[in-house]
Structure 1
Amino acid sequence: MSLHTMVSLPFTLLNRGQLGGAGVLFFFYAVIVACISKALFEIANFAGVKARTGMATVVAKRIVPGHWGWQSRGRFLTYAYVPEYEILDLIVNGRTMTYRPIPWIMERTTANTTEPVQFKAARFNSKVQIIKFKYL
């Protein structure tokens, strides 16, 4: 099946009067285009951005209770129980965010302190991505 036939298939179905089939294909095509657009935006958002070193203010140390949620297990997406875990509320580069460091760093971190951090600030939406926390 050629690409032209694949792209024009919803229009062909619409011309034949198969409105339901055309609607389903338009929906799937829209979802695929949205996923590709989101992935390209995320790549372009952090591409070529240099890592900076700064200070992060630890506002609070919280526990997220255990809950059920979607997780990928290899190639499969399953609904699994997520046990409770700790997170940090940080202020990095003027933005409030949550961060989940590895357990041994979490044990050595206290609230209301300032820690060194290496991060990337995105180009378009100023999202902060932490690369290294506390031990640079």
Structure 2
Amino acid sequence: MSLHKLISLPFTLLNRGQLGGAGVLFFFYAVLIACIAKALFEIANFAGVKAQTGSAAVIAKRAVPAHWEWQSRGRFLTRIYVKEYEILDLIINGRTMTYRPIPWIMERTTSNTTEPVQFKAARFNNKVQIIKFKYL
């Protein structure tokens, strides 16, 4: 049994005159390749990067109001009610970011202070991944 009989490729469908099927299949393959490339980029971005210890300037302590958002639960997309929560605006190594620590750390953190932080800085873009905050 030939591989071309098992797997339909966009160009073989074009040769058979199935333009619509070839377009859908080409789009599916393009999305699949884009998702794989994005996952590999995220892995390579932080792989092998050592954790750094530094200080984070807490600019503000903000509350995000309660809202509805779409989340996937298994195979289904469901509308979920998200309760109000607090986040911190931080500056780490000149990069501004938001961070949501666990509630007991959030209670002990005030704005306009400097807190110790352990983080990873990405290789290819300006992302920062916080590993530990305030209590190292």
**Alignment correspondent of 1:46:** 46
CA distance in 1, matches of 2:83, 2:39: 29
**Aligned with 1:78: secondary structure?**
strand
Q: Percent identity?
A: 87
Shift of 1:71: 2.4
CA distance 1:118–1:26, change in 2 (3 Å): same
CA distance in 1, matches of 2:120, 2:79: 32
Runs of 4+ in 1 over 6 A off after TM superposition: none
Tell me the TM-score normalised to structure 2 length: 0.90
CA distance in 1, matches of 2:120, 2:135: 16
**Which structure 1 residue ranges, 5 or more long, are not aligned?**
none
Q: Indicate the RMSD between aligned Cα atoms, in angstroms.
A: 1.9
Alignment of 1:114-133 (within 5 A): 114-133=114-133
Tell me the TM-score normalised to structure 1 length: 0.90
**Aligned with 2:9: secondary structure?**
helix
**Amino acid corresponding to residue 45 of structure 2 in structure 1:** N
CA distance 1:126–1:3, change in 2 (3 Å): farther
**Which structure 2 residue ranges, 5 or more long, are not aligned?**
none
CA distance in 2, matches of 1:46, 1:39: 12
Q: Deviations over 1:53-73 (max 9, x none)?
A: 000000011111122223243
**Alignment correspondent of 2:32:** 32
**Alignment correspondent of 2:69:** 69
